[in-house]
Chain A
Amino acid sequence: MKLTLKIWRQKDANDKGGIKTYQLDNVSEHMSFLEMMDVLNEQLIAQGEEPVAFDHDCREGICGSCSMHINGQPHGPDRAVTTCQLHMRSFNDGDTIYIEPWRAKGFPVIKDLVVDRSAFDRIQHAGGFVSVGTSGNTQDANAIPIPKADADKAFDAATCIGCGACVAACKNASAMLFVSAKVSQFALLPQGKVEAKRRVLNMVEQMDKEGFGNCTNTGACSVECPKEISLENIARMNREYLKASVTGE
């Protein structure tokens, strides 16, 4: 198939940036979206031009690196996929495709489609852990049985890959889905209960500091989330936050 690509090009953080248009022929429907980008970059290199910079690594939907806003949707038109798992069979011959980076105050553009997501790391530094040493001298793993339903819910929350699509999808650039996934994972498990109050307060405080907006329950984040992280997690985080704020340590 033949495509017209409208891609955001921005030399560095200080550059204003803008959309450039490229024509690409011979795209196979079996290619992944990033393989299509590889072909474009090979073409640009052959013409002596600079290839389009984009983040990517595992190319199997789990590392969370890839982050393209495609035709106005984070990770493109398909549900429950990352950009690397999107295949060209989701597009038609002759299509024009707009490709942009995540847009959010908390995610400044570094170059082209590459953004700085270190704010997510800093939120995790603020409390995304259980304070247990790594000596291995803890109790036996089966000492505390955990109801399967709780363990499964904690797992579902823990499958967040930290890609940032939730923020990119949100009109408020809110990071609530991301933060609530970690808060929920630990709130649901006995291991996380001890520090639950401190964790939610600290993580939310850091989230606000990073310039992410607030949640207005639109739900776009969950729809666009490649791991289908549920909105219930935001509700759980709000409960945890309220509880912690009201009752204190």
Chain B
Amino acid sequence: MKTLKSNLKLIAAALPVALLSTGALAADETIAVFTKNQTNPYFQTVRVGAEAAAKSMGAKVVHYIPTKPDSIPEQLSQIEDVIVKKPSAIVFVPVDYKAMVPGVEQINDAKIPVVNVTDRSAGGKFLAFVGADDYSLGLETGRYLLKEMGGKGNVVILEGVKGSLTNIDRVRGFTDAIKENKDVKLLASQPANYQRLQGLQVMENLMQSHTQIDGVLAANDAMAIGAIEALDGANRKAKVIGINGTKEAVDAIKAGKLLASGDYNGFVQGCIGTMVAIRALRNEAIVTEVVLKPTVVNASNYQPYDVPLDARACPSWADAAAMATKTPTKTN
């Protein structure tokens, strides 16, 4: 549990209006950070990353988070809000990669520079895109599980929310990893909507019809840990992987319950997205695309993840630039 300190930080985050209207800060660079919800720990890592980067570069961060998780109308009205308040730049995670395009176009019309983070928007103009590739994340994490299973056995997939971009690509990565191993049999691929309770219940149901399940590929950590509870409850053993590299997943890896978690690296995404925005404001060199390589967090490499979020440091700009997959094309 985070204590008062991080809660206070959230209060500050919840009061964008108050901060923005404070005259004394008017001269500073203010970065408006848009994320999808307050409930998914992943977006908390993005926000803390953005704050760490801004702090080290002497800029201010203001958060915009829909109170109803992933609400399209709410994020649209927050965009209208932010256009009136005119922050120096925006770091933007669309709640929906298609539905938010008109919102992005409004930001473009208002001439506020904007960096796209996590989910690649289907349209609009951005300084840069910073994200991870869900497909290779699913593929690499899946490959790790199948290698640990000795390339044979029965597996099930727990899918996230049908139709969400992250889910489509992660599940495609999982199934492609399974196809590479002809002795691995996919028994079922069922939705549990990224929910812990559904992860547990769907796994309980699948165990009824399949007496031998050797591996579970879950599209996020909450479902993976729900599945582990189901296995424990039935006194059955299977190797389980999740995705997101959350604190809880790291604890489960340490305890030997979870095999691995594909890291989506929200913290670094928040860092680099914010660094690009601030550097652009200062007319310093930027990169236009960073797609982070997947890291499979497991029992041998979890240590860097086992520190509190606020204690983590952003990568240096040199390291960040080295991760770039695209840089601006020279026009001279």
- Pairing of A with B: no
Contacts from B to A (Cβ < 8 Å)? none
